[in-house]
Amino acid sequence: MPYEEILDQLPYTEPFLFVDGLNSVSDDGTEGFYTFPVDAYFYEGHFKNHPVTPGVLLTECCAQIGLVCLGIFLLKDDDKGYGNLLVAMSSAEMEYLAPVFPGEKVTVTSEKVYFRFNKLKCQVRMFNAQKELVCKGTISGMIKKNSSEQ
């Protein structure tokens, strides 16, 4: 499955899309990247005169690249075809180690722990451009294709 096809199936759009591209995808994990825009709306209030990317958005970026993109790839042979993607995060345990500032490019890697009964669990890591570990953790979610169109 070409990476563009995975990105096209993501159930997100701007301003809540936190994936610019994918470097690799396999049955065991993903690697992708995103650059947080300097003018993103959330920097206006987080923090006053010293903008930092909120941890919840670092987690979301890890989930979109490490969990959802991998889930789309793993469902490539699903007999329901390319219906609407249904996604629900069920748990996240993250540790934040360094700040991400406006304009920074991050790389997310994920390693599949398991995928069964439409539940995907991954170990994720985010690195900045200097290859320093920004955050790491475990993210789980339910992901499946819904072939019924409404």
Q: Is 55 helix (H, G, I), strand (E, B) or coil?
A: helix
50 is catalytic: no
Strand 119-127 to 105-116 pairing: antiparallel
Residue 145 has what DSSP assignment?
E
> 10, 42, 46, 102: which is the annotated catalytic residue?
46
The Cα 98–Cα 53 span in angstroms is: 10
H-assigned helices in 1-150: 3-8, 55-62, 69-74
The Cα 128–Cα 111 span in angstroms is: 18
H-assigned helices in 51-139: 55-62, 69-74
Largest Cα separation within the chain, whole Å, is: 51
Positions marked catalytic: 46
